[in-house]
Structure 1
């Protein structure tokens, strides 16, 4: 039998027979050619292995490249983005709701996510080998379990129903929850309901929140505030609004800034971490071009794959700092577009920027929505105004707090969420968890709304396509993995 060897540097290369579309023999290669047991006999190896799990979030299917990247998928398949004929046609099938089990546009996340989970579980496998003890051991376990939970959540919201999506969603088929390091497992199945998967995610996150001690300055590693924020996200999707508020407020107490208006552009263009809870680090040396999914910059201007929907673009007020931070209006080949330049660069290599996975602004919106649905309209309005005060207004015309009540307040929370989290992997999942259809504007790609509208304009709320297909190669390798309905 081949001896497993491990690379302890930026990542651990793992073939996941049961989960992914790869059927290679397990081979963890190393420049040191060390057996994994020997490599994990040093305390520093645990830190390096955990960093490898974070690094794998830049793999294809998560945040690299232009096909199936989560940097764009939630907007391409919803009503935020419009395909530009000037682009190369990337992600076109997905944007037209043509999801299939042999197309990486909607299956790539499944492969990439289980790979990351396996790397987190690899760390957990060696925690009892006597190398780490006390708080160091607890912190390593907490961080690994937080990564594992975070990524399982990404899988379950994409490939299963969301508890609030429909009356029967909680009891519907979930995903396999991989809680041990076993990359050659060929017997795993989707043996949990949706709510059971959520409970496993929550268990991991609560353990992590109680035991993690690190506070990484560059926000490239999970810390207590970020884990509280993740809990607020998971509980919102589960429909447990008191818990959404509880953990959201713990997050906001630990990291209160909603990103000041003066720093907001710098979050996207100058690597500021004001209001950032967790980000996937990136650098010119790594060269992971996350922004290429939207556009490429040439001397002739931005050539966009997708541009912001005309109606969405015009929903931003003229004094909204997000409008200039997220978008650039410019010509390409004689036509003017509203380009999505949120990830275009920060003064370095084009399209190479850290990915903001979780920000305090989202947590505030989670709590505002949960407070409204719990009957505390005062809390909901105060949080909404706190966020809006850092996005709107000028020196000569300061922001005037809103006074919405009733349904108008809830709609304002939903609208602010769309404006704030546009092109941050949120819109599709917000519509899905609310049980709403996709209804596109019917406008074209040019800055004045003319041009070529999307071929498909609507997706019904009860469509089976809200649950993406499991990769066919994963099912061929392990027939115990059940395919979703409609594929």
Structure 2
């Protein structure tokens, strides 16, 4: 097993959308070739095997957004040796991909959409007895959830940040809703994309169990948590508050950091108890580059009683690297979890002028991160003061979970929080201003060659 100083950050794997790994029985049904349809499943058991496949639905979430954030930095030598897409995304280059390369951030989510569409297409033809209805409902709700989160991840990567004024005309992503591999879907508007995502989740809610039976499977709590995330990036704080409250009403467990072993790696041998739905980001290997924590972020953990210093980070010979963000598969976690949802709830309360509620939620989280008996509750003099404190802690708490990219995109629309990102590679300075067109990744050339949709300006 690799030790933690051998883990490298997110270099893009050159893997096609139909390539799967693993030896579990459920994978047998999924061994397909590129551009070849699935063998059509015919029973509920077939569909259960499909929906259980973690390689398709829980792994390989997009990572180039994270590569483009200010969560970390890399040594110039390591940067120079990284894969083309990771190397270029790190400096916000206008051209990202090697010629005719497969792009994992595009391929893997659309692979998940294809399998979800296959399940949803087959389900109506399967007759069920009374004792199978719950299984039928859970499979359908799970497929809707996975399609929704895949579309959401794609629109965060390949479309500009949501703007309620222009969403009706801004270009989003293609929204294939059938498993027809020959169908060439146009780019829908952002308004249509978010409507589809939300409608899928609303339809999934009554079909899913309240809480996750297994952390890799969807639940009502996960659907509510994802809805709260979506409405937050849309700037609809009342709706985001509604769904974050609903989520926490079903699952609200927090981890007392006093009970963790900071020397363990991974910190969580299976799942964090805060996870409502577990997922992880796509590949990294020895051809990648080693991630070090941004020094300004690291210095913001300035209270010696804050246990996140020991849990989140690892001192590798003087280089501060990431620690607890890796999961049991040695991949970077990208979960829906109670810490995120509690911070979302607190932010929405602050934005809606409920200062007391916002600070209660923030303190409820932070007390679990401090040495027992040392935490002093924070207070706020105004809604703006509360919001500033909550966003500061969100920046710290959700470090390296993939959420920073979406946060940068949405917060840049408010001049109070807009920032320009910088990289320094051997004295050459690269920058990414707020609301720059490069906040949308380019559509892969391979996709445009097959389906001539408009390219994103860079």
Contact 2:101 2:446 in 1 (8 A): no
Q: What is aligned with 2:95?
A: 100
CA separation in 1, counterparts of 2:355 and 2:154? 33
Map residues 9-48 of structure 1 onto 2, 5 A cutoff.
9-10=26-27, 12-13=30-31, 24-26=34-36, 28=38, 35-36=39-40, 40-48=41-49
Deviation (angstroms), 1:455: 4.2
Decide which moves more: 244-253 or 102-111: 102-111
CA separation in 2, counterparts of 1:179 and 1:124? 9
Q: What is aligned with 2:273?
A: 274
Q: How many residue pairs align between the two structures? A: 417
Q: What is aligned with 1:306?
A: 291
CA separation in 1, counterparts of 2:277 and 2:287? 22
Map residues 281-320 of structure 1 onto 2, 5 A cutoff.
292=285, 305-317=290-302, 318-320=304-306
- After superposition, the Cα gap between the structure-2 partners of 1:26 and 1:345, relative to the gap in structure 1 and judged at 3 Å, is closer
Decide which moves more: 145-154 or 452-461: 452-461
1:403-444: per-residue Cα shift (whole Å, max 9, x none)?
1233221111111111111110011210101226553477x8
TM-score w.r.t. the length of structure 1 is: 0.77
Q: What is aligned with 1:21?
A: none
Query: Would you say 1:249 and 2:245 are equivalent positions?
Result: yes
Map residues 362-401 of structure 1 onto 2, 5 A cutoff.
362-392=340-370, 394-395=371-372, 397-401=373-377
Contact 1:139 1:211 in 2 (8 A): yes
- After superposition, the Cα gap between the structure-2 partners of 1:78 and 1:423, relative to the gap in structure 1 and judged at 3 Å, is same
CA separation in 1, counterparts of 2:94 and 2:66? 15
Deviation (angstroms), 1:260: 2.4
Query: Would you say 1:82 and 2:82 are equivalent positions?
Result: no
SS in structure 2 opposite 1:174?
strand
- After superposition, the Cα gap between the structure-2 partners of 1:462 and 1:215, relative to the gap in structure 1 and judged at 3 Å, is closer
Gaps (5+ residues) in structure 1? 1-6, 16-23, 29-34, 64-68, 282-287, 296-303, 445-451
CA separation in 2, counterparts of 1:339 and 1:94? 20
Query: Would you say 1:324 and 2:310 are equivalent positions?
Result: yes
Contact 1:82 1:453 in 2 (8 A): no
The one of 172, 175, 181 aligned to 1:174: 172
SS in structure 1 opposite 2:277?
strand
Q: What is aligned with 1:424?
A: 401
Deviation (angstroms), 1:136: 2.8
Map residues 179-218 of structure 1 onto 2, 5 A cutoff.
179-186=177-184, 188-190=185-187, 192-213=188-209, 215-218=211-214
Deviation (angstroms), 1:352: 2.3
SS in structure 1 opposite 2:171?
coil
SS in structure 2 opposite 1:280?
coil
Q: What is aligned with 1:230?
A: 226
CA separation in 2, counterparts of 1:219 and 1:12? 22
TM-align CA RMSD: 3.0
Query: Would you say 1:412 and 2:389 are equivalent positions?
Result: yes
CA separation in 1, counterparts of 2:427 and 2:237? 36
Deviation (angstroms), 1:156: 0.8
Gaps (5+ residues) in structure 2? 1-23
TM-score w.r.t. the length of structure 2 is: 0.82
Contact 1:259 1:361 in 2 (8 A): no
Deviation (angstroms), 1:131: 3.6
Query: Would you say 1:339 and 2:321 are equivalent positions?
Result: yes
Deviation (angstroms), 1:462: 3.0
SS in structure 2 opposite 1:175?
strand
Contact 2:334 2:402 in 1 (8 A): no
Q: What is aligned with 1:485?
A: 457
1:67-125: per-residue Cα shift (whole Å, max 9, x none)?
xx62xx33431212111245343422111111426349994311111111001111111
Q: What is aligned with 2:14?
A: none
1:4-52: per-residue Cα shift (whole Å, max 9, x none)?
xxx982263556xxxxxxxx54154xxxxxx52xxx2332111101123
- After superposition, the Cα gap between the structure-2 partners of 1:305 and 1:101, relative to the gap in structure 1 and judged at 3 Å, is closer
Deviation (angstroms), 1:176: 1.8
Q: What is aligned with 2:17?
A: none
